[in-house]
């Protein structure tokens, strides 16, 4: 297994070797602006199967194909609608994944047997150069074992994959910290299947209508049909018991104190504004209240850290469902298995 440490401004020619590993059917972990991905040649069926094995991923949960230019898009998709074209012009390269009708030659192992294929052009320069050297679209799910938090730096995920991939590229911390926004377009409207850095307001600059799929914040009933298979599966969950707290600052503090009396080892993950009142509790700061950029950056690495410290309960402060907060809440609600306490009601 080969490892390369590289930053955005140096020695991109060292990536050639990793492009070759992908061409030869190997798996390579690489940074993107959102989270780390575990990549394979989209047209090599055995390599794509190896990704599912390495992650322990369900075979009906499709992968995103990553491209570095629009010629590669044409290898994958049947047609591009006028709205999709406008979205591509505005948001690519960047953290937006679009679901298109697939070309016949895109293997079903990539699309989980669907007739559609999800595509994105990342903006991370290392990712773009790697795909260019590989000279083929690269499918890459987030580099984490299925169900676990995504990886936003190589250190967090290295051990999970060290015997399962042929290459790893350490490109430092990911800039965004949560996975790309996944959308589907119909005529002039966009449906968000997974929220991310590109928000509904951003998309409204191009589309007439933007709707959030109802499963973004809700648990799926076992017989319900979903638009994006990833919604069905357990996600981002640490091993410990995990609960989300919402409400006024004082009520959250009072509730965490109650939990501190009830449980031996409590870890609180939240904003500096609350943490300064919880001196007696083990706290992980994700930044200032409302600083969604910071919060998005920290959540996955803190979920992993909490898991290592094995608390009896991990208490996570929720955020407002606005802008990037929508993506953050989508991940945190799942991490807490939909276990949400309204501390304002609880303290009455
Ligand atoms: O930011 C990202 O998107 C990262 C980096 C590595 O690029 N990748 C990522 O991949 O998050 P993954 O596999 O962890 O999540 C892909 C999501 C899943 O929820 C999957 O169900 C959905 O995209 N998806 C993929 N293909 C789809 C399709 N044809 N139709 C609907 N949803 C699809
Ligand atoms: Mg994932």
Residue-wise pLDDT for 16-72, tens only, equals 999 999 999 999 999 999 999 999 999 999 999 999 999 999 989 999 999 999 999
pLDDT at 348: 58
Residues with CB under 6 A from ligand 1: 32, 34-35, 37, 61-64, 95, 97, 99, 111, 114, 116-118, 140-142, 179-180, 182, 193-194, 228-230
Residue 8 confidence (pLDDT): 66
Lowest mean pLDDT among 54-68, 223-237, 262-276, 294-308: 223-237
The Cα 296–Cα 314 span in angstroms is: 18
Ligand with minimal distance to 48 CA: 1
pLDDT value of residue 231: 77
pLDDT beyond 90 at 140:
yes
Q: What number does the ligand 1 atom closest to the CA of 194 have? A: 19
Pocket test for ligand 1, best of 182, 233, 330 (most atoms within 8 A of CB): 182
Cα–ligand 1 centroid distance for 291 (angstroms): 25
Stretch 225-243: mean pLDDT: 80
Taking CA atoms only, the protein residue closest to ligand 1 atom 30 is 228
Best of 179, 186, 297 for a ligand 1 pocket test (most atoms within 8 Å of beta carbon) = 179
End-to-end CA distance of the chain: 57
pLDDT confidence of residue 226? 82
pLDDT surpassing 80 at residue 317: yes
Which residue CA neighbors atom 17 of ligand 1 most closely? 230
Nearest residue by C-alpha to atom 20 in ligand 1: 230
Ligand 1 atom closest to the CA of 178, numbered from 1 = 1
């Amino acid at each position: 297994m080969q490892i390369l440490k590289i930053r955005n401004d140096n020695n991109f020619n060292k990536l050639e070797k990793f492009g070759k590993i992908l061409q030869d059917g190997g798996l390579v972990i690489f940074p993107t602006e959102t989270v780390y991905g575990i990549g394979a040649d989209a047209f090599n069926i055995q390599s794509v199967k190896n990704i599912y094995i390495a992650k322990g991923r369900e075979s009906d949960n499709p992968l995103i194909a990553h491209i570095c230019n629009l010629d590669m898009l044409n290898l994958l998709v049947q047609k591009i609608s006028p709205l999709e074209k406008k979205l591509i012009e505005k948001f690519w390269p960047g953290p937006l994944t679009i679901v298109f009708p697939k070309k016949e030659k895109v293997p079903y192992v990539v699309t989980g047997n669907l007739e559609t294929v999800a595509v994105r052009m990342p903006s991370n320069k290392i990712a773009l150069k790697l795909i260019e050297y590989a000279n083929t679209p690269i499918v890459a799910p987030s580099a984490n074992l299925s169900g676990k938090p995504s990886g936003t730096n190589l250190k967090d995920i290295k051990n999970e994959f060290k015997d399962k991939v042929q290459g790893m590229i350490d490109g430092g911390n990911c800039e965004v910290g949560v996975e790309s926004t996944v959308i589907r377009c119909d005529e002039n409207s966009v449906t968000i299947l997974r929220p991310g850095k590109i928000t509904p307001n951003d998309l409204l600059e191009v589309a007439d209508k933007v709707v959030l799929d109802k499963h973004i914040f809700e648990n799926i009933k076992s017989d319900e049909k979903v638009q994006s298979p990833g919604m069905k599966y357990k996600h981002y969950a640490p091993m410990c018991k995990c609960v989300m707290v919402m409400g006024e600052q004082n009520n959250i503090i009072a509730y965490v104190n109650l939990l501190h009396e009830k449980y031996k080892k409590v870890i609180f993950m939240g904003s500096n504004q609350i943490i300064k009142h919880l001196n007696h509790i083990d706290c992980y700061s994700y930044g200032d209240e409302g600083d969604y950029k910071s919060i998005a950056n920290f959540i996955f690495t803190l979920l992993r850290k909490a898991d290592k410290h094995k608390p009896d309960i991990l208490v996570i402060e929720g955020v407002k469902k606005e802008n990037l907060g929508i993506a953050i809440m989508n991940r945190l609600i799942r991490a807490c298995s939909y276990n949400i306490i309204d501390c304002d009601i609880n303290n009455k």
